[in-house]
């Protein structure tokens, strides 16, 4: 048996809508098989993984809290990926945003002012953007592969944060624990609704998604992004500069990742610790693709991936399954999304092997 691809005359609208859903279904099926192999009842396991976290108010709030950074980062990444700039160091930009935004609440702990929070958010964006500026500069002016440089910088950022919270920024009254002081009340991102912990980071995410969606759809900049992403040469003829696009997309995604970082720290953790992210920067790559690089799709995809985090925790508690299952689910999902995307551009045919004359003369 052999699989043959046949190019569609035009992109299939049906499959460009369906493919994320098919991918999700495939993940559920494979997840069920995996649970069965682990000796669990697949139905109850999947139920506690994907449904139970949605059944209570507090867990819905947790979902929003986890979805916020994923959506923020993925929206920025979608601009990068669409313009063919492979920023995969969002995790590092997230961390540096969190650090830059925490300068005020940690170093100037006593400064009380309503300006503190907005300044923190701004500095977070600045921190993320500056950190993304390194791979941007190296790609635009030194011809260096941004995939590798942005990823290497993730390790550097993680080690830098580790040094800060164990060294100069350690809480003086914290019994030597590697963490900063808990932020003062005026440096904590407030809750959005009275019923639970969801903080304003979620609102930032939705706003960012809508703004970027508008930009991609209705502005010249959005057109420029798609053109340069699909064909750099065509973009050059239209007078677009791919070098400027590198800067634009990297700085934008860096700023959004930085905003995600400081929102997470200020809203959810309320201090800096050696580890502040369960891999949001990498999971956001999956979110971006599951959302088909469309900011509105990314909102939905962010909620789905946030659910896998909660599901992992729930499954660990109720089934005794390792929470590592989460990462497996996330990886599987990305695989299925990428394979289903083939259906958008190609018709897939299974060809059962037949021995024909053309096999003998070697023409095929």
Partner 1 sequence: MGIVEAILLSVITAATPLVLAALGELVTERSGVLNLGVEGMMVMGAVCAFAATQITGSPYLGILAGIVCGAVFSQLFAFLTLTLVANQVATGLALTLLGLGVSGMLGEGFLGMQGIKLQPIAIPLLSDIPVIGPLLFRQDIIFYLSIALVAGVHWFLFKSRAGLKLRAVGDSHASAHALGVNVIRTRYLAVMFGGACAGLAGAQLSLVYTPQWVENMSAGRGWIALALVVFSSWRPWRLVAGGYLFGAVSISQLHAQAFGLGIPSQLLSSLPYLATIIVLILISHNRRTTLINTPASLGKPFVPDR
First to last CA, the chain: 15
Closest approach of partner 1 to the CB of residue 283, in Å: 8
CB of 153 to partner 1, least distance (A): 7
Of 54 and 152, which has the nearer Cβ to partner 1? 152
| SS3 category, 181 | coil
Closest to partner 1 by CB, 142 or 175: 142
What would the 3-class secondary structure string for 141-158 be? HHCCCHHHHHHHHHHHHH
Taking the C-alpha atoms of residue 226 and residue 210, their distance in angstroms, rounded to an integer, is 18
* Residue ranges in contact with partner 1 by CB under 8 A: 3-5, 7, 81, 86, 88, 138, 142-145, 147-149, 151-153, 155-156, 159-160, 162-163, 167, 282, 285-286, 289, 322, 324-332, 334-335, 338-339, 341-342, 346, 348, 362, 364
Per the CB < 8 A criterion, the answer to whether 158 and 128 are in contact is no
Residue 141 or 221 with smaller CB distance to partner 1:
141
We find the least distance from the C-beta atom of residue 149 to partner 1, in angstroms, to be 5
Q: Which residues contact 322 (CB under 8 A, 6 or more apart)?
A: 316
DSSP output for 109-178:
TT---TTHHHHHHHHHHHHHHHHHHHHHHHHHHH---HHHHHHHHHHHHHHHHHHHHHTTTS-TTSTT-S
Q: How far is the CB of 179 from partner 1 (least distance, A)?
A: 16
11: left (phi over 0), alpha (psi -120 to 50) or beta: beta
Q: How far is the CB of 328 from partner 1 (least distance, A)?
A: 4
- The least CB distance from residue 250 to partner 1, in Å, is 15
Query: What is the distance, to the nearest Å, from the Cα of residue 314 to the centroid of all Cα atoms in its chain?
Result: 22
Q: Rounded CA gap, 333 and 321, in Å?
A: 19
- CA gap 211, 320 in Å, rounded: 42
Question: What is the distance between the alpha carbons of residues 297 and 78, in angstroms, rounded to a whole number?
Answer: 11
> How near is the Cβ of 98 to partner 1 at its closest, in Å?
16
DSSP-derived secondary structure letter, 38: T
Nearer to partner 1, 76 or 201 (CB): 76
CB of 196 to partner 1, least distance (A): 29
- Of residues 100 and 121, the one with the C-beta less far from partner 1: 100
| 156 versus 184: smaller Cβ distance to partner 1 | 156
Which residue, 268 or 337, has its beta carbon nearer to partner 1?
337
3-state secondary structure of 5: strand
Q: Which is nearer to partner 1, 44 or 145 (CB)?
A: 145
Cα(166)–Cα(178) distance, integer angstroms: 5
State which residue, 86 or 223, has the beta carbon closest to partner 1: 86
User: How far apart, in whole angstroms, are the C-alpha atoms of residue 233 and residue 216?
Assistant: 20
Residue 110 CB, nearest distance to partner 1 (Å)? 27
């Amino acid at each position: 048996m052999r699989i043959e691809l046949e190019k569609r005359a035009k992109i299939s609208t049906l499959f460009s809508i369906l493919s994320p859903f098919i991918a999700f279904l495939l993940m559920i099926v494979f997840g069920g098989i995996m649970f069965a192999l682990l000796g669990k009842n697949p139905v109850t396991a999947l139920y506690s993984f994907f449904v139970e976290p949605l059944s209570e108010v507090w867990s819905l709030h947790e979902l929003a809290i986890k979805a916020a950074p994923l959506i923020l980062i993925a929206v920025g990444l979608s601009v990068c990926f669409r313009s063919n700039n492979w920023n995969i160091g969002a995790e590092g930009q997230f961390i540096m945003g969190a650090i830059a935004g925490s300068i005020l609440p940690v170093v100037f702990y006593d400064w009380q002012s309503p300006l503190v929070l907005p300044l923190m958010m701004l500095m977070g964006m600045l921190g993320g953007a500056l950190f993304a500026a390194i791979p941007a500069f190296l790609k635009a002016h030194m011809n260096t592969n941004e995939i590798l440089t942005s990823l290497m910088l993730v390790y550097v950022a993680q080690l830098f944060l580790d040094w800060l919270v164990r060294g100069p920024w350690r809480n003086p009254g914290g019994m030597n624990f590697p963490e900063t002081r808990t932020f003062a009340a005026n440096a904590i991102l407030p809750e959005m609704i009275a019923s639970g912990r969801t903080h304003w980071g979620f609102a930032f995410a939705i706003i960012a998604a809508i703004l970027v969606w508008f930009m991609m759809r209705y502005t010249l900049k959005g057109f420029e992004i798609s053109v340069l992403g699909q064909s750099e040469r065509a973009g050059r003829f239209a007078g677009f500069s791919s070098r400027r696009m590198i800067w634009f997309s990297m700085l934008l995604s860096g700023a959004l990742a930085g905003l995600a970082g400081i929102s997470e720290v200020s809203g959810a953790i309320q201090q800096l610790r050696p580890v502040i992210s369960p891999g949001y920067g990498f999971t956001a790559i999956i979110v971006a693709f599951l959302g088909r690089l469309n900011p509105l799709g990314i909102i939905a995809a962010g909620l789905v991936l946030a659910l896998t985090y909660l599901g992992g925790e729930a499954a660990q508690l109720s089934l005794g399954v390792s929470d590592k299952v989460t990462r497996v689910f996330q990886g599987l999902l990305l695989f299925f999304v990428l394979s289903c995307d083939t259906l958008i551009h190609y018709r897939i045919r299974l060809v059962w092997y037949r021995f024909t004359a053309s096999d003998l003369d070697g023409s095929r």
